[in-house]
Amino acid sequence: MLHVYFYRFTKKLFRIAFAIYARIIVWLKFKFNNVKVGQNWKSNGMPMIDVWVNSSFSIGDNFRMNNGKHFNAIGRQQVCSFVVRNQGKLKIGNNVGISDSAIICYKQITICDNVTIGGNVVIYDTDFHSLAKEHRRNYLLDRQHTKFAAVTIENDAFIGAHTTILKGVTIGEGSIVGAGSVVTKSIPKNEIWAGNPAKFIKSILKTS
């Protein structure tokens, strides 16, 4: 049993040391990418952050994030990726938690307060390429005809693990998206949707 206790002790010690190191590196990543971040944030592991000039990224208070295989190990582990380009605006509100997910913003993505985003979720406000094959044959035409549309996730929404949210979608207040869903159209508030493409499952009863 001694070797078990030794293993657990060294593992805990490593996590503490790595947490201190990671906080310093993440703080530097926020600073050098001009990310405005609120108070009491915590990052387990280190995300990838890429914010272009003339783009913006802001985070509210009490932000929580898990990155990589050592944290929230539910499969398909990766670090969180935040990419903001082409004068995009990414805004994350207060009390938001996110794990091992990617948010790619070319126009505008807004995540409101008290939102929970499960592991391996991806959120895109762009198609990345034109849908016309003629345009995709030419790099400049492809870029010119790529479509963008803002994404909004309203207060208290819960996005299940491995979900994909596509451009132009609004997730209504208090709604839940089931794990592994592909969300192609907006979801009203206080509803459960799931599937590929995501469809209405049932309404959520209000609690007092």
Q: Looking at residues 159-179, what average pLDDT do you find?
A: 97
- pLDDT at residue 159 tops 60: yes
* Dmax (CA) of the chain: 67
Task: Provide the pLDDT for residue 69.
Answer: 72
Q: What confidence category does residue 20 fall into, taking pLDDT thresholds of 50, 70 and 90?
A: confident
Q: Which amino acid is at 8?
A: R
Does 149 fall in a domain?
yes
In a domain, 205, yes or no: no
For residue 144, what is the DSSP state? H
Enumerate residues 6+ apart whose C-beta is below 8 A from 172: 154, 157, 186, 187, 188, 189, 190, 191
φ, ψ at 110 (rounded to 5°): -120, 120
Tokens 């990543």 locate to 29
Look at residue 89 and give its three-state secondary structure. Answer: strand
Assigned domain for 10 exists: yes
Q: Is 177 within the bounds of a domain?
A: yes
Number of structural domains found in the chain: 1
What letter would DSSP give residue 148?
Answer: B
The residue range of the domain holding 11 is 2-199
Average pLDDT over residues 16-39: 88
Residue 45 lies in a domain: yes
Asked, for residue 179, whether it belongs to a domain, the answer is yes
Residues 49, 31: contact at Cβ < 8 Å?
Answer: no
DSSP H or E segment with residue 91: strand 89-92
Higher pLDDT, 22 or 192: 192
CB neighbour class for 101 (10 Å; exposed up to 12, middle 13-18, buried from 19): buried
3-state secondary structure of 197: coil
In a domain, 207, yes or no: no
Q: Is 204 within the bounds of a domain?
A: no
Whether the pLDDT of residue 18 is over 80: the answer is no
Catalytic residues: 129
